[in-house]
Structure 1
Amino acid sequence: MLMQLAYVSSVLGVLSASVVKDVKVGDSVTLPCKDHELKDRPVEQLDVQWRLGEQLVSRLYRGQVNYGINYRNRTELPAEGSSRGDFSLIITHTQHGDSGVYQCVIRRKNQEEPLGEVELRVEAPRYPSAVFVKVGEDVVLPCFGRVDWWGPDAELVRWNREDSDQTEVLQWEKGSFYVNPQFADRASLREEGIVQDYLPLVLKNPRQEDKGLYVCLFVKDQKIKQAAKINLTVTDHMTQVRAEFGTSVLLPLHSTSAVSVWFLPDGGNDTVRVCEVEEGQLKCEAEYTHRTVLNNDFLELKNLLLLDSGTFSVMERDSQRTVSVLILQVFRTPPLPSSGKHVVKADFVAVIIITAAFVGIAVTTVMIALQQKRLSQVVKRLRGRGAGSKSHHQDHSDATSSNTVIQLHLPNSHQKMHFSNASNPSE
């Protein structure tokens, strides 16, 4: 994120802009510098420089651009911009040591005139308050700091461990290394990182006795300054677990001695006590009392919360030795994104079924009405025939006294309807 605070003033008749820009390590940034009075000036006649303090960053001189040793391959001063009076400097892959006040100046007749001034503030990544590592596995403790290349105490980087003896782990001064015999062949500094203001301590084959608070120091403005302070924990056993919200997790104790269980939340700086285990008895802090159970050689933590994400460590009370570390990440399973579609689909099917039932009932009703109409017509026709036979065929009077029975099967019904056409004595 870039923040710009700009004001404009007139300096020796030349427009000067002072700007503040905030970036993070690795970002790209453009430092503005423009003077429209220099528009269309032949580039061969220009001598424009960018400086950070006394350090040369870049120089446009007679059409050629040169860069300082710390800015090569990551800065650009486009020469073609000079035709527009634009001398803005582009810095890619910013480093922590790039912070400072940059000046853009032009030399005219052996005199310098300021064109602009930019303050660049590069934010270093946040340091972890604690680092956990298993015995024998290499570890890197990060540190960012600007090494003073030009002061009288130039080029000094030091890593100390704060203990009763204030142990000096290593020191790098003007290209030469000193390493404490306790860390011989195990502690080192990445020399290529020093130029990039990255000053990490690389510790190989760490041991239990290497635990402690490590401090990174460097020279700035002829003073030794602290850049980072990191607590290193070396453990015999380390486990990483991902568990779902609301479930349980088992923390292996790996000790029969009295132990203390501690917790460092993700992004936190301070550890908190969780439980004490001694001779099969469990004593926990209030917030853990109802969620912890001693299960043989494990401490079971139930009903996991998102706030339980972090690092649990088991330390023997007497020896202060860390015997077990559990790095826990608690996650919540998101609802199925298609669940809403299933509900809509089910409702749609229900509507179709109900509609089909109503249609079936309506069709059946219409068919019954049609059958009843046809039946009525048949009955009338039979009665007409019966009357004609009585008046014109007296010799068949026995037949007219017989019954005519019609059976009608209604659709979708198991009942039979009987209609009788018997001779009516009253006729």
Structure 2
Amino acid sequence: DREPGDQTGDLPVLQVLAVFASYITAVVEWRQGDKSVLLPFNPTADLPQEATVVWRLTVFKHTMVHVYERGKDQPDKQDPGYRGRTEMNEDPLRTKDLSLTLKDLQLTDSEDYTCTVYNKGGDKLLQKVVLLRVTGEIIYILRFKSSCLSVCLCSESLPDIMPVPEGEESVLLPFKTTADLPQDVTVEWTRSDSNNKMVHVFESGNNQPDEQDQGYRGRTEMNEDPLSTKDLSLTLKDLHLTDSGVYTCTVYKKDGDKLQKSVTLSVTGECNSCLSTYLIICLF
């Protein structure tokens, strides 16, 4: 990767520094509840044993996800958020399998990842981008309150449209799981876009209002016996414009496993004193 116009002398000299190959971008999907996901990269070219392999975030290039150098992984060069969560196959340069396994998946792992192979001189040899995306159902909940407007919504792009009864002053943040939940789990609803404010806590078979952020006390409610019914949905009452944000429900199990879902709630004010709209986007 030398700059144009680089001069090496008066006489013309032809020197091959590196042959750079860029691979087609791959898209990998994963669903909430998966324990790990594979970001694939299997080049066909022979790779020198002294090569360095770097997995990083495409947009935030300084965020190192995984580094393989001098024949071994380099955890000290990883971003702290990925330490202990990544793994490459043994002897990746010889096997030509540079794929990366990402474990303990989180919603924030939905990013674009770039794998770059450098030779000993620091020149790029290979590069591939992998797009990691969360799959699942997207639910839009629209509420229209009006004395002079009737609205009908029909769209194939919306997998589900759930009407909210007119005059209702609360909204449901839905989370119904199919997994069996032991009675000793802890359920936490937090505002992940606002320093993880504690919105609601269900622990030891009871709601825990003392652990809630002051702004949500008396305004939240979960169904009775949510663990047996597998319905962890949260009702938020007395809505304010400041309630707009990303709400994350996390189920913590004693063995360290967790189940997670995020809901984005957008609350807009009244228009012409007759229309208010609530938009919920759910990813799980």
Q: Decide which structure has greater helix share.
A: 1
TM-score (norm 1): 0.31
Q: Decide which structure has greater strand share.
A: 1
TM-score (norm 2): 0.45
- Larger radius of gyration between Structure 1 and Structure 2: 1
Larger RCO of the pair (alpha carbons < 8 Å, separation 6+): 2
